[in-house]
């Protein structure tokens, strides 16, 4: 089954990752690959758009933990946008809003990067 | 100006209705208390007040205060509902000369206190004021109770949600770990799950190998981590350990900011450790958090162990394949059939051990009148030994075709083998040529177990020769010896696989037993002597594993 997919495109110096489907322990490697290739290309400003994400597990969340330091050390960040309520609740439950910026619209996240 | 009574009542009533509407419109404690206090302030012209409520642990805590300087709360007493401190509370109240202290009660249960400062007008509280406050408090206490219950419930819900989330995470990992994964993958998923669930960015995972530790993941300096791993305290860990800032358990751990250590266990045996730093939320790890970490840790370590066993099985399979190749190389090097002659009988056997040693023998009819016999034991086992053996055979075949004398051939053979062996390999080697016309047997022994020449029930050991083959190039030429063989003489060649064959008590078969057996049977035919030797060795080693190749060759003069 087509469980998970991650699409990538750039808006100026900012990379947008569109995550789709189910992000769990099984599919986490695909997201890791996407982040690894961003780091290879020295793309440290990342907006993850969750509009099409149906489910996320802890292992999936952990991928963001694993890469955020690298991005920030290189003057970048990982910002989140477009989360459905139930997906956001999981982030919220675990305290992610303490560490990450969440936006409703992709544009807000991009603007935030451009201001900074 | 004095207002008519009815107007006062009306104003009170509208304030109460307004208050009642407001306070029940929002399920937020702060909002409710704020409303309660402000209503009193507004109606009674007061500028100071606070509300203290009993929390879940029944401790009295100030929830909201307005107008008072914060210093007066420095001496606020520690009160536990219905138990301690109520006298201190009373004396605190009178010492601070508050205007009014009212208990907040809901259906006989004391929820806390409303404390008001003096009226701006410095007047005492009137009967009407008191009545107003009582009415407001009745409505207020119900609202406070509601909000408290609601907050308690949403806390319970939150705990449940996070429990469900942890269970989902365990389920997710369990599914994933049940298939065979690389160890690195397992540890990655493990730290992903823990770092997300616990919101922790510093961690390390170490597993124990047979005699070393393997750091799978680490956000700490490896040298520091290794230092910790070698400490006594860490060795003694058998259950999860919470470390606070001033613990004395493991000084190095506190230096690194490690807050929790969870062992990874399989059947009560510790197979690894998870180190975690403190949480970004600053929350302590709860019992349920530790349970969660322990559960996925045990899933992970089983998966890691499986993966390791799988690799081992694969390695073993590869090794067995290697040995099979070695065995077939070796068997192909041995002579396929033995020569027959009216002058002599010859018989030989090579029984390979499971691990395949490096025994070798050869019998070559060099000319009509000459036969060459050779026996060797190549150092090492398996493929390496087989390849060296193949080399030896190639050298042997090329040398004896050159018509060298045996002594020269030995010098030359040693040079060749020395040049072509690496990392300390060597060969114990014995070869000899029997002249069928005059029955002279010329031999050179290059460090091999001396063959036994048996004549008239006496043994002569054929020792002449020199250094073991292949250790270094020939400096001192090999010596040779020629013995005149007579009818009925027997020469027993063998490798140490025969004399060093072990029984179940790890006792060797021994030279003496072999010599005695050969003496007793020297009258027999070559074939029969060989059979006796094999049978006796088998008798000795019954029930034990064959640890080395067994090779023997018997030459008997008719």
pLDDT band at B83 (very low <50, low <70, confident <90, very high): confident
**Residue B111, domain extent:** 5-151
Q: Which secondary-structure segment (H or E) carries B444?
A: strand B440-446
Q: Do B205 and B117 fall into the same domain?
A: no
The first and second tokens of residue A50, run together, are 């969750």
CATH number at residue B67: 3.30.450.40
Chain B closest CA to A63's CA: distance in Å? 6
pLDDT band at B2 (very low <50, low <70, confident <90, very high): low
The answer to whether the CB atoms of A62 and B192 lie below 8 A apart is: yes
For A99-113, B256-270, B432-446, which range has the lowest pLDDT when averaged over its residues? B256-270
The first and second tokens of residue B359, run together, are 């025994």
**Residue B100 falls inside a structural domain:** yes
Please provide the DSSP assignment of B458-519 as one string. EEEE---EESPBTSS--SSPPP-EEEE--TT-EEEEE-HHHHT-B-TTS-B--HHHHHHHHH
Beta-bridge partner residues of A2: none
Location of structure tokens 């002249």: B435
pLDDT band at B268 (very low <50, low <70, confident <90, very high): confident
**Residue B164 falls inside a structural domain:** no
The answer to whether the CB atoms of B196 and A61 lie below 8 A apart is: yes
Domain ranges for chain A, please list them.
4-111
Q: Which secondary-structure segment (H or E) carries B527?
A: helix B526-541
Location of structure tokens 């009642």: B20
Which residue of B lies nearest to A96 if distances are taken between CA atoms?
A: B199
Which of B116, B151, B186 corresponds to the end of one domain?
A: B151
The contacts of residue B528 (CB under 8 Å, 6+ apart) are B521
For A17-26, B321-330, B447-456, B502-511, which range has the lowest pLDDT when averaged over its residues? B321-330
**Residue B399 falls inside a structural domain:** yes
Residue-level pLDDT at B259: 92
Give the pLDDT confidence of B176-197 residue by residue, as tens digits. 888 767 888 899 999 999 999 9
CB of A57 within 8 Å of a chain B CB? The answer is yes
Contacts of B195 in chain A (CB under 8 A): 62, 65-66
The answer to whether the CB atoms of B192 and A26 lie below 8 A apart is: no
Please provide the DSSP assignment of B417-431 as one string. HHHH--TT--EEEEE
Which residue of A lies nearest to B281 if distances are taken between CA atoms?
A: A95
* Backbone torsion region of residue A106, taken as left when φ is above 0, otherwise alpha when ψ lies between -120 and 50, otherwise beta: alpha
Contacts of A90 in chain B (CB under 8 A): 165
Interatomic CA distance for residues B53 and B50, integer angstroms: 10
Q: Do B218 and B350 fall into the same domain?
A: no
Q: Do B416 and B508 fall into the same domain?
A: yes
Closest CB to A58 among B169, B175, B188: B169
**Residue B163 falls inside a structural domain:** no
In this prediction, residues B22-35 reach a mean pLDDT of 83
| Helix-then-strand count for chain A, H and E | 4, 5
Beta-bridge partner residues of A102: A80
DSSP secondary-structure letter at B414?
Answer: H
Interatomic CA distance for residues B20 and B163, integer angstroms: 37
CB of A52 within 8 Å of a chain B CB? The answer is no
* Backbone torsion region of residue B548, taken as left when φ is above 0, otherwise alpha when ψ lies between -120 and 50, otherwise beta: beta
CATH number at residue B400: 3.60.40.10
The answer to whether the CB atoms of B162 and A93 lie below 8 A apart is: yes
Residue B534 has pLDDT above 80, yes or no: yes
Q: How many domains does chain B have?
A: 3
Location of structure tokens 């099979």: B324
A4-111: CATH class? alpha beta
Residue-level pLDDT at B7: 75
Single out the residue of A71, A60, A61, A69 nearest to residue A14, CA to CA.
A71
Interatomic CA distance for residues B161 and B421, integer angstroms: 69
Angle in degrees, CA B157, B159, B162, rounded to 5 = 105
pLDDT band at B246 (very low <50, low <70, confident <90, very high): low
Contacts of B184 in chain A (CB under 8 A): none
The answer to whether the CB atoms of A62 and B161 lie below 8 A apart is: no
The answer to whether the CB atoms of B168 and A94 lie below 8 A apart is: no
Q: Do B121 and B253 fall into the same domain?
A: no
Interatomic CA distance for residues B262 and B291, integer angstroms: 10
The answer to whether the CB atoms of B175 and A69 lie below 8 A apart is: no
Which residue of B lies nearest to A63 if distances are taken between CA atoms?
A: B192
Contacts of A99 in chain B (CB under 8 A): 199, 280
**Residue B430 falls inside a structural domain:** yes
Chain A closest CA to B281's CA: distance in Å? 7
Q: How buried is B511 (Cβ within 10 angstroms: 0-12 exposed, 13-18 middle, 19+ buried)?
A: middle
Which residue of B lies nearest to A26 if distances are taken between CA atoms?
A: B176
Closest CB to B195 among A62, A89, A90: A62
Give the pLDDT confidence of A14-57 residue by residue, as tens digits. 999 999 999 988 899 899 999 999 999 999 999 999 999 999 98
Q: Do B288 and B391 fall into the same domain?
A: no
Which residue of B lies nearest to A28 if distances are taken between CA atoms?
A: B189
Single out the residue of B466, B461, B463 nearest to residue B426, CA to CA.
B466
Contact indicator for B542, B536 with CB cutoff of 8 Å: no
The chain-wide mean pLDDT, for chain B, equals 88
The answer to whether the CB atoms of B192 and A95 lie below 8 A apart is: no
Chain A closest CA to B362's CA: distance in Å? 59
A26: three-class secondary structure by DSSP: coil
Which of B161, B179, B189, B276 would best serve as a mutation to test chain A binding (most A beta carbons within 10 A)?
B189
Contacts of A58 in chain B (CB under 8 A): 165-166, 168-169, 172, 192-193, 196-197
Contacts of B165 in chain A (CB under 8 A): 58, 90, 93-94
Residue-level pLDDT at B238: 87
CB atoms within 10 A of CB B485: 22
pLDDT band at B4 (very low <50, low <70, confident <90, very high): low
In this prediction, residues B349-362 reach a mean pLDDT of 84
Location of structure tokens 């410095």: B122
Contact indicator for B429, B412 with CB cutoff of 8 Å: no
Give the pLDDT confidence of A63-108 residue by residue, as tens digits. 999 999 999 999 999 999 999 999 999 899 888 999 999 999 999 9
Q: Output the pTM of the full model.
A: 0.61
Interatomic CA distance for residues B306 and B300, integer angstroms: 10
Q: How buried is B339 (Cβ within 10 angstroms: 0-12 exposed, 13-18 middle, 19+ buried)?
A: exposed
Chain B closest CA to A69's CA: distance in Å? 9
Strand-strand pairing, B440-446 and B452-455: unpaired
Q: Do B280 and B368 fall into the same domain?
A: no
Phi, psi of B440 (to 5 degrees): -80, 135
A40: three-class secondary structure by DSSP: helix
Q: Express as a percent the part of chain B with pLDDT over 70.
A: 98
* Distance set, CA B394 to CA A57, B335, B366, B422 (Å): 65, 13, 15, 17
* Distance set, CA B126 to CA B2, B17, B44, B115, B341 (Å): 15, 21, 10, 16, 141
Residue-level pLDDT at B180: 67
The answer to whether the CB atoms of A58 and B192 lie below 8 A apart is: yes
CB of A16 within 8 Å of a chain B CB? The answer is no
Q: Which strands, in side-by-side order, build the sheet including B269-277? A: B213-218, B203-208, B269-277, B258-266, B241-242
In this prediction, residues B478-501 reach a mean pLDDT of 94
**Residue B442 falls inside a structural domain:** yes
In this prediction, residues B29-33 reach a mean pLDDT of 87
Give the pLDDT confidence of B139-189 residue by residue, as tens digits. 889 889 988 888 889 889 888 888 888 888 888 888 888 876 788 889 999
CB of A70 within 8 Å of a chain B CB? The answer is no
């Amino acid at each position: 089954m087509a469980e998970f997919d991650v699409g990538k495109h750039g808006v100026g110096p900012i990379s947008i990752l569109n995550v789709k489907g189910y992000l769990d322990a099984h599919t986490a490697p695909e997201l890791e690959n996407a982040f690894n290739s961003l780091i290879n290309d020295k793309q440290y400003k990342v907006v993850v758009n969750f509009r099409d994400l149906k489910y996320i597990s802890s292992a999936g969340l952990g991928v963001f933990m694993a890469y955020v330091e690298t991005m920030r050390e290189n003057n970048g960040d990982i910002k989140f946008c477009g989360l459905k309520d139930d997906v956001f609740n999981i982030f919220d439950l675990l305290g992610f809003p303490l560490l990450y910026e969440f936006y409703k619209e992709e544009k807000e996240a991009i603007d935030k990067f451009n201001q900074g | 100006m004095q207002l008519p009574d009815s107007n006062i009542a009306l104003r009170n009533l509208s304030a109460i209705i307004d208050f009642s509407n407001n306070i029940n419109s929002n399920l937020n404690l702060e909002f409710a208390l704020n409303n309660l206090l402000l209503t009193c302030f507004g109606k009674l012209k007061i500028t100071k007040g606070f509300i203290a409520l009993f929390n879940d642990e029944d401790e009295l805590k100030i929830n909201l205060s307005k107008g008072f300087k914060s210093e007066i709360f420095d001496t606020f007493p520690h009160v536990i509902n219905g138990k301690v401190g109520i006298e201190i509370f009373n004396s605190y109240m009178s010492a601070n000369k508050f205007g009014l202290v009212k208990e907040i009660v809901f259906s006989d249960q004391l929820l806390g206190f409303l404390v008001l400062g003096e009226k701006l007008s410095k007047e005492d509280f009137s009967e009407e004021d008191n009545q107003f406050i009582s009415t407001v408090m009745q409505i207020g206490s119900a609202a406070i109770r509601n909000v408290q219950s609601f907050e308690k419930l949403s806390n319970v819900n939150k705990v449940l949600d996070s429990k469900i989330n942890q269970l989902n995470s365990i389920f997710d990992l369990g599914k994933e770990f049940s298939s065979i994964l690389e160890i690195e993958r397992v540890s990655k998923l493990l730290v992903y799950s823990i770092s997300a669930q616990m919101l922790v960015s510093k961690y390390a995972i170490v597993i124990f190998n047979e005699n070393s530790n393997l750091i799978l993941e680490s956000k700490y300096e490896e040298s520091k981590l290794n230092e910790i791993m070698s400490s006594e305290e860490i060795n003694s860990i058998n259950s999860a350990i919470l470390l606070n800032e001033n613990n004395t358990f493991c000084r190095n751990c506190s230096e690194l900011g490690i807050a929790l250590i969870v062992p990874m266990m399989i059947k009560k045996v510790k197979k690894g450790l998870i180190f975690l730093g403190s949480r970004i939320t600053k929350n302590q790890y709860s019992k349920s958090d530790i349970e969660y970490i322990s559960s996925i840790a045990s899933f992970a370590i089983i998966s890691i162990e499986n993966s390791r066993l799988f690799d081992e099985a694969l390695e073993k399979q590869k090794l067995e394949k290697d040995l099979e190749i070695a065995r077939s190389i070796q068997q192909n090097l041995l002579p396929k059939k033995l020569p027959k002659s009216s002058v002599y009988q010859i018989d030989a056997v090579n029984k390979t051990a499971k691990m395949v040693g490096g025994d070798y023998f050869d019998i070559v009819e060099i000319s009509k009148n000459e036969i060459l016999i050779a026996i060797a034991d190549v150092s090492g086992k398996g493929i390496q030994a087989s390849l060296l053996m193949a080399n030896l055979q190639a050298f042997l075949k090329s040398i004896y075709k050159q018509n060298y004398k045996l002594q020269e051939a030995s010098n030359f053979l040693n040079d060749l083998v020395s040049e072509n062996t690496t990392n300390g390999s060597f060969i114990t080697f014995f070869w000899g040529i029997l002249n069928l016309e005059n029955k002279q047997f010329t031999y050179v022994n290059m460090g091999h177990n001396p063959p036994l020449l048996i004549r008239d029930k006496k043994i002569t050991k054929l020792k002449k020769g020199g250094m073991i083959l292949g250790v270094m190039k020939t400096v001192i030429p090999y010596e040779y010896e020629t013995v005149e063989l007579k009818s009925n003489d027997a020469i027993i060649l063998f490798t140490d696989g025969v004399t060093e064959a072990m029984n179940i008590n790890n006792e060797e078969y021994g030279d003496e037993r072999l010599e005695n057996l050969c003496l007793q049977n020297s009258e027999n035919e070559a074939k029969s002597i060989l059979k006796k030797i094999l049978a006796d060795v088998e008798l000795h080693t019954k029930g034990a594993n064959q640890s080395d190749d067994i090779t023997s060759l018997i030459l008997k003069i008719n």
